[in-house]
Copies of this chain bind each other. A is one copy, B any other.
Amino acid sequence: MAAPEHPRMSDVAHRAGVSLSTVSRALRGAPGVSPAVRARVERAAAELSYVVSRDASSLVTGATGRVAVIVPFLRPWFFGAALAGISPELRAAGLDMLVYEVGDAEALDGYVQALPLRRNVDAVIAVSLDLDDRETKQLDDIGVPVVYCSQRAEGRPSVFIDNVAAAAAGTRHLLNLGHRRVAYVQSRDETGFSWGSLHRRDGYLQAMAEAGAEPLVVTDRAGQRGGAAAMARLLGAPSPPTAVFAESDDVAFGALAVLRRSRVPVPEAVSLLGFDDNDVAAVLDLTTVAQPVHELGAEAARLTARLLRGTADRAEHLRLPTELVVRRSTSVPRTSPGMHLHSHTDLRGRQ
C-alpha cells in the first residue's frame, strides 16, 4: 500500500486497523488505549509520516481544558490589553489560560522544544511574536492548534491588523498636512522580535515614495528610551524633520519627553504621531493610529475555542480595522522651515 502524499488521521486509522477516536487518543497520550494498540498506531503514523497537527482540529475533546498564551513580554501595555481580551473569552469557553513570557526568540525556541505541549494544553495562542517561517513551522509540529494573534500567518488561523496600510494612512495624514520632512522611528532591540515595526516602516516608505518625499528612518532601542534616544538624534540632524512618526505610542512618549525638555513646541515645531492608542495617549493628546488590541485578543480566543470545537477553518484569517485618532500633537507645519526659526517668545510660551 503506497503512502498517501498528505496523510490524514483516517489513513493512520485504516493502516493501524483502529477507529479514528483511538488514533486521536493514542497520539495525544489519552488514557483508555492499551500499550499494544498505542504502539501500532504510532508505527502506522510514523510509516505514513503523519503529523499530528495536520488534524489537530479533530482533537476536539479538550483533553486538558487549558490554552497556552505565549507573549514576548508581560509588562508593556499591549500585552495587558491583549490578555484582557483573551481571558474572558477562554473562560466563557471553559478553558483555563496558561501564560508564558518568552522574552526573546531563544526562549521561545526553548519553550517550543522543551514543553510537552501535547499533554499540557489543547491549543496555543501566540501573541505578537512576529515569528519567521522557521519558527512558524516549528510551532506547526507541537501537536495542538496554534492561533496567531496580532500576526498574519499564511495558512494558519490568525487575527491581525494591516500594519502596512495603517502606517501608510498615518504617514499620509502628516504629508497631507503639508509636511515633507517626515521621519519614522523604529525600534530594533536585542530580543529578535520586531513588533510589526517593519511592516509599519514599509507602509511609511510606501506613502513617502508615493508623495515623492525623501524617507528618513531612525532605528533605536525599544520603548520610551529608544524614542528619547531617536528624537535626540533627530534634533541633532543636519535638517531636522517637521514631523515624526513613532512606531508605537510608547516610542512617541520617549520622543515627546525629549521635545518637552528641549522646549520644542509640539505640534508647532514638530508634529508627533504614534501607533496603538494606548491608555495614556489621550492624556498626552497624542495623535495616533489606533489598533483594537483588546479585540485582537478576544477574537483570537474565540477562534481558538471554535477550532477546539471543530467549527472553524484551520486557515481562518481575521483582519481587524485600525483608525487614525487625531489629537493635538499633529498640525500643519509652520510656514518657516522647521525648528531653527523659533522666536524666543515662542519658546517661553512652552515652559
A: residues with CB less than 8 A from B are 66, 73-77, 79-81, 83-84, 87-88, 96-101, 103, 120, 224, 250, 253-254, 256-257, 260, 279-280, 282-285, 294, 348-349, 351
Contacts and interface: CB of A to CB of B under 8 A. Distances in A.
A241 to B, nearest CB: 20
A118 to B, nearest CB: 15
Nearest to A253: B283
Given A77-B80, A97-B100, 16 more contacts: A73-B84, A74-B87, A75-B80, A75-B83, A75-B279, A76-B80, A77-B279, A87-B99, A97-B98, A98-B99, A99-B99, A253-B283, A260-B285, A283-B284, A349-B349, A349-B351
A285 B294 CA distance: 28
A120 B96 contact: yes
| 10 closest residue pairs by CB, A with B | A74-B84, A80-B80, A75-B84, A87-B101, A74-B83, A253-B283, A257-B283, A75-B80, A99-B99, A280-B280
A295 to B, nearest CB: 13
Contacts of A351: 349
B101 A88 contact: yes
A186 to B, nearest CB: 19
A115 to B, nearest CB: 8
A183 B87 CA distance: 37
Contacts of A77: 77, 80, 279
Q: Which of A74, A99, A224, A280 has the most CB of B within 10 A?
A: A74
A88 B99 CA distance: 11
A19 B241 CA distance: 76
Contact of A74 (B80, B120, B257): B80
Contacts of A87: 74, 99-101
A89 to B, nearest CB: 11
Contacts of A348: 349
Contacts of A73: 84
A256 to B, nearest CB: 7
A98 B257 contact: no
Q: Which of A79, A99, A253, A283 has the most CB of B within 10 A?
A: A283
A80 B66 CA distance: 21
A257 B279 contact: no
Contact of A284 (B83, B279, B284): B284
Contacts of A280: 253, 280
Contacts of A294: 75
A84 B100 CA distance: 10
Contacts of A285: 260
Contacts of A260: 285
A75 B295 CA distance: 13
B283 A256 contact: yes
Contacts of A224: 279, 282-283
A133 to B, nearest CB: 27
Contacts of A81: 75
B66 A98 contact: yes
A98 B98 CA distance: 4
A329 to B, nearest CB: 13
